[in-house]
Amino acid sequence: MNLLVCGGAGFIGSNFIHHMFETYPDVSIVNYDKLTYAGNEKNLAKFSDHKPYTFVKGDICDLAKLNAVMEQNKITHVINFAAETHVDRSIHGGAKEFVLTNTLGVQMILDAVNANAIKKFVNVSTDEVYGALDLYEDRLFTEETPIMPNMPYAAAKAGGDLMCNAYFRTHGTPVIVTHCSNNYGPYQFPEKLIPFFVFKLMAGEKVPVYGDGRNVRDWIHVRDHAKALVLLLEKGEPGHVYNIGSNNERDNMTLTKMILEILGHGEHMIEFVKDRPGHDLRYGIDATKISSLGWKPHYTADRFGDGLRETVEWYQNNTHWVRDLIEQKKDEMNAWQVSFFSNV
């Protein structure tokens, strides 16, 4: 397999590449990444001299470059992690970049996949395209759940997903779409909830919880997500959607209290703040379909405490990682972020 990983320098993409090389050391990987503020080449520094690994800086909206990279490297399979993902940025900072990357960028990859006779393309998406569930209803998102996004980020991702479906039906493009729940683990950009809370608490600052903290998310360890994606590259059926989740729903208050306990803080370190617009109440994934292919998460609901503790400890032990990241990306971040994270 000659694999093109789009967006492989980000959180999920870099963990996927780590898993691939740890499991299949001879696989050939080309990591194609624009290196936006959330992308960090140092996430993969251990592979810089690894012969089957090549890094190419590029934008998925650049069709000519995508075609050249696929042709020159004899790419057979493609997986796409490249995305603008921060929900608050899509609400308060404008949605243009989200549409360009998450919708138009996916279309460019689809065109390149068709032009280069790629065997399989996996487009990694989110459960947020389904909208929201009621807090107490006995229902989960399935692959048949209608797409009804509530936020600009999710709408842009849904646009890419629908483009995949259209290309499969129109051109027979061998594409698979995945909808995954919230990921946690190492190398996540520190604007996201878990690393953000860890670094706030390490700095002696309170953590902000939206609304009353009742919003529920289904949490999956990023390495379990990576294993599911490898399985789909091998056994997934083109034209299909696969939901990926570990049946591990937690409300934000419960998660916050778990982080506080791990770091030895009390609930007085919680600060309730105004809820964000369009804040979905609950996400929950039915992963029966991918489980039927043989996938099982290691960090199941009863092991979430272990996975969360390992994640928190990784950020505690790798403060140099965030300092280096902020030094690299300070021109793309606001003044508060640069000041705060530089002092971690």
- CB–CB of 132/151 below 8 Å? no
Q: Which residues pair with 242 in a beta bridge?
A: 178
Phi and psi dihedrals of 63, rounded to 5? Answer: -65, -40
- CB–CB of 152/95 below 8 Å? yes
The token pair that represents 2 in the structure block? 């000659």
Choice among 32, 37, 53, 153 that is catalytic: 153
The token pair that represents 141 in the structure block? 């998102």
Instruction: Check residue 105 and report its DSSP letter.
Output: H
Instruction: Check residue 30 and report its DSSP letter.
Output: E
Choice among 59, 84, 127, 249 that is catalytic: 127
Catalytic-residue membership of 224: no
Catalytic-residue membership of 84: no
User: In the chain, which ranges are E strands?
Assistant: 2-6, 28-33, 53-57, 77-80, 120-126, 175-180, 182-184, 207-210, 216-221, 241-244, 249-251, 270-273
Catalytic-residue membership of 153: yes
Q: Give the amino acid at 66.
A: L
DSSP 208-270: EEETTS--EEEEEEHHHHHHHHHHHHHHPPTT-EEEE--S-EEEHHHHHHHHHHHTT--GGGE
- CB–CB of 3/27 below 8 Å? yes
Choice among 33, 128, 218, 280 that is catalytic: 128
Alpha carbon 260 to its chain's center: 24
The token pair that represents 328 in the structure block? 């690299």
CA 3 to CA 28: how far, in whole Å? Answer: 6
C-alpha closest to that of 201 among 121, 139, 258: 258
Torsion of CA 309, 230, 21, 220, to 10 degrees: -10
Residue with tokens 């050391």: 25
Alpha carbon 77 to its chain's center: 19
C-alpha closest to that of 119 among 146, 61, 79: 79
Which residues have a catalytic role annotated? 127-128, 153
